[in-house]
Structure 1
Amino acid sequence: MRTFVHGAAVWDVACPRQPSRVAGVTMAGFRVRDLDTLRMVPHPAVTLLLEFGAGSPVLDGAAGQQQRGSVVAGPGLGSGGAVLARGENVECVQVRLSPVIAGAVLGVSPADLDGAVVSLGDLWGREASRIRERLCDAPSWQDRFALTDALLVRRYEAGPPVDPEVAWAWHRIVGSRGLTRVDGLAAEVGWSRKRLWSRFRSQLGLPPKRAVKLVRFDHAAHRLVAGEGAAQVAADAGYADQSHLHRDVMAFTGTTPAAVAGEPFLAVDDIAWPGREAPARPHLSRDLRLGHRPQDA
């Protein structure tokens, strides 16, 4: 376990020694004595937060909405700067699920989350309580990661895969870091635009154009955190100009690129989520084989 210090933020962070047996799953463990109003920055993944400590994290959303304990949220959690996290003596395993495999793991499509933060108890019933108890009883972080991975493997193998055409389109967007032209995706998979847009939205929880913008923003935001200038980031990340980057960052976070560069939620990624770079673009014929269960990062 390593200690992350960023301004007033001091967190203990643990990482699994082995990757998940389900491609498209990454996880990290956090122990935070005082979680003081953390802005949740949108990320192109479904977030599964499994808490088990003496305290309990609280997510404050728009219009006074509030969730405590273990939660699930669709891709783009926190858009507009609308979700803040807080709490004391928080211990949790945070799992990031590729939208391609999230439906199988969760038992519902990310689209059914409708951009909201949902209590895991509401989604999984008593299984959520049993998971919490087992995580609390586990003697080490590596045991907790192994327990969590076994849970994810079991649920994933029992769940239905997304359409291989949808999986391929998502891979294409992620592999290009959001620089894919969405108009050509349907032609490349041999579907009509209407069919791809409908299946993509219903199975992954967001339309292709939104997915492109979210993936592009995520890449740009991490470059800002790394200390790169906004003008250079805008040019390299596919924005028309620096003002375009500024508008996109404001839309996703409710704050400026300069403020995003100092967000602990993003700065911790180098410790908590090593190797987060997008994979190379997959081969179309491989991903469109019938019966293929998609692999995603």
Structure 2
Amino acid sequence: MRSAVAGWDVVRPPGPGRVAGVCMAGFRSAGSVDVRVVPHPALTLVLEFGNGPLVVDRATGRQRRGDLVAGFLHRDLRVRGAGVECVQVRLSPLVARAVLGASPVALDRTVVPLDDLWGRDAARLRQRLGDATSWHDRFALAEALVARKAQAGPGVDPEVAWVWGRIVRSRGRARVEALAAEVGWSRKRLWSRFLSQIGLAPKRAARLVRFDHAAHRLAAGEGAAGVAADSGYVDQSHLHRDFVAFTAMTPATAVGQPWLAVDGLAWGR
């Protein structure tokens, strides 16, 4: 499926991928783009193959160019460039450690060159993506490498996977203490294992999932008071504080960002 919004031509694979927890989309900028990132509960790979380059700026003044890996929670990032072509891969934290070969904890709030994690595999994939003549072939190339790494890398504990699944299905409203009891773990053990394998502490993960759900509902035009009540916030002020914490923007400003509009096309939101 191909669509265009906010300066991006967006292409989605025709069906679900072969690796659970991995989603892909293709991006080509129609001209110059400058997009502020809205945090989401996944880690991100950007696989460039065009004339680009894609540039990721931080409020601190640091920049990253080209293929990269972005961890969780980037409230101060902007993505910009001209003539950008790339495959973007979103990784559930259940598979991120295996695919990346690094702990998600080490990637939290960071953006690192993919070469640092994948070495020569990153360079070879970049060359093959540039040589490919269709999005179908590019998706196939990226998926094959991701699948190989996912199979070879370490998985997460079944209990951790179950707790993450409950957090996602409850849209961040599940009580962490209750989840620990359901898997037969102490709260301390769950916190330790979850943080080391997922990359976030359980309550922080729940906050991020809840925020992500609320942000997309607001972007779809729903009222803030109703979204706050349905999403488990104490009140609208609580929702406002979470938006500022995650995005450094008010809800009204955040939901007007092109990032969320592109999300709907690229990831089927």
Bucket of the pairwise TM-score, normalised by the shorter protein: over 0.9
Matched, 1:106 2:100: yes
C-alpha offsets along residues 223-249 of structure 1, whole Å, 9 cap, x if unaligned?
011011111111111111111101101
Pick the aligned partner of 1:232 from 214, 226, 231: 226
Letter matched to residue 165 of structure 2:
H
Q: Does 1:4 align with 2:7?
A: no
Alignment match, 2:66: 69
Q: How does 1:7-86 map to 2 (within 5 A)?
A: 9-76=6-73, 78-79=74-75, 82-86=76-80
TM-score (norm 1): 0.88
Instruction: Give TM-score, length-normalised by structure 2.
Output: 0.97
Aligned pairs, number? 269
In the other structure, the counterpart of 1:250 is 244
CA RMSD between the two structures: 1.2
- 3-state secondary structure, aligned to 2:8: strand
What is the distance in 1 between the residues matched to 2:59 and 2:7?
Answer: 26
CA distance in 1, matches of 2:71, 2:30: 26
How do residues 182-221 of structure 1 correspond to structure 2 at under 5 angstroms? 182-221=176-215
Larger CA deviation: 121-130 vs 167-176: 121-130
Q: Deviations over 1:254-277 (max 9, x none)?
A: 111111221111112222111x5x
Q: How does 1:112-151 map to 2 (within 5 A)?
A: 112-151=106-145
Q: Tell me, in whole angstroms, the C-alpha distance in 1 between the residues paired with 2:150 and 2:32.
A: 31
CA distance in 1, matches of 2:264, 2:82: 24
Whether 1:268 aligns to 2:265 is no
Structure 2: give runs of 5+ residues left out of the alignment. Answer: none
Percent same amino acid among aligned pairs? 66
Q: 4+ residue runs of structure 1 moved beyond 4 angstroms?
A: none
Could you tell me how far apart the structure 2 residues matched to 1:131 and 1:205 are?
26
Q: CA deviation at 1:35?
A: 4.1
